[in-house]
Structure 1
Amino acid sequence: MKQSIVWVLMLGLMGCRANDDSLTQFIQDAHQTARAKVEPLPQVDDFVADDFVMTRDRVPFLRPLPEHQESGDGGNKACWQPNLARIKTPLETFPLEQLAMKGVLGDGSQLWALIYTPEGKLMKVTTDSYMGLNHGRIVEVTSRKVSVEEILPDGTGCWIKRTVPLMLAQQ
């Protein structure tokens, strides 16, 4: 009986030979018919670089020299200069945007403005007091605003003045 089972298995294994001829034929056909359809590249003209011709004495790859160089003797003496040696007040350590006018005090002859700092201090100022980072001098104190004259550099060694109002803060 054992021998007959072995013979049956042997015959069965011989009959299970793979028939992959059709699969091989399909792969060969697919390789022959599969063609990528690629459009040809457009014709591109050759790039021709222009030669650099320097027309001025200035080299374009270096930073330009400043138009106005200040001399070592303190700048241009022909225009007005602020007093930079003046001792600064505590209100000159804050930008005007961070200061707030909270009220006024005074009698008929003189008004004092109450200025609130970012540190939470309330300070009293009047005309000719200084505040702000740009050498700001108070030129007028009214019940509704403080007019501050700031002095800004104009880039040529001179200074320009502008008046900035600091309005009474609304609660």
Structure 2
Amino acid sequence: MKLLRYALLMFFGFALSGCFEIHQGYQDIDAYMADVKTRPMGNIEPLPQFRPYEAFTYQASAMRSPFKQPVKVALSSDQLNSNIKPDASRVKQYLEKFEMDSFRLVGSISNDEGFWGLVRGSDGVHRVKVGDYIGRNHGRITYIDEQELRVTEIVPAGPKYWIERPRILPLDIGSQ
């Protein structure tokens, strides 16, 4: 027991001896630290405040492109008094989801079953025939040949009136 007591005393004595300051040979470091502490402190600018990102949803995709010329339609009294209006009970076809300006006639094919136009849209090439609907303005294909595709659209001309507007898609050789 006495031996254990002396061993613990010796251990704590050595452990506590490391806590005392002994300054021998460190005067240059102490002088440098004192000099650094007396210098004026620098100014650190605060970080700039950033606004969080606000997501923007473009909602004008169904409207006319601002980079295209607007279509001017001269209306006569005969056109306004007509009974032209789109068929609301008709089931919409796939190509009626897209703007007419997004289509290009890139070719045509024919066989015993008929004659088709090949129309390139934003999602690929589609085969169309006379009587199919295309574009958002109730456009119905009225004529197809090797050089052009003709469409008659029904567009609003006021709150109660509709008019027919012809459109032509010429053959676009550059997009093949």
1:145: which partner in 2? 148
Match of 1:101 among 91, 102, 105: 105
* Alignment size in residue pairs: 94
2:114: which partner in 1? 110
Provide runs of 4+ in structure 1 moved above 6 Å: none
Cα distance in 1 for residues equivalent to 2:162 and 2:169: 22
1:162 lines up with 2:168 in the alignment: no
The one-character-per-residue Cα deviations of 1:39-83 (angstroms, maximum 9, x if unpaired) are xxxxxxxxxxxxxxxxxxxxxxxxxxxxxxxxxxxxxx9723220
Aligned-residue offset at 1:110? 3.1
Which structure 2 segments of 5+ residues have no match?
Answer: 1-80
2:68: which partner in 1? none
Aligned-residue offset at 1:108? 7.6
So what's the TM-score if we normalise by structure 1?
A: 0.51
The 5 A counterparts of 1:26-65 are none
Q: Give me the CA root mean square deviation.
A: 2.0
Question: Any idea what SS the aligned residue of 2:136 has?
Answer: coil
Counterpart of 2:141, as a letter, is I
Cα distance in 1 for residues equivalent to 2:144 and 2:82: 32
Aligned-residue offset at 1:117? 1.3
Cα distance in 1 for residues equivalent to 2:120 and 2:84: 32
Q: Which moved more, 1:136-145 or 1:98-107?
A: 98-107
Cα distance in 2 for residues equivalent to 1:109 and 1:144: 20
1:127: which partner in 2? 130
Change (3 A) 1:78 1:117: closer
Structure with larger Rg: 1
Cα distance in 2 for residues equivalent to 1:168 and 1:78: 32
1:37: which partner in 2? none
Cα distance in 1 for residues equivalent to 2:146 and 2:138: 23
Counterpart of 2:151, as a letter, is V
Question: Any idea what SS the aligned residue of 1:149 has?
Answer: strand
Cα distance in 1 for residues equivalent to 2:156 and 2:82: 15
So what's the TM-score if we normalise by structure 2?
A: 0.49
Question: Any idea what SS the aligned residue of 1:92 has?
Answer: helix
Change (3 A) 1:108 1:165: farther
Aligned-residue offset at 1:107? 3.8
Change (3 A) 1:78 1:141: closer
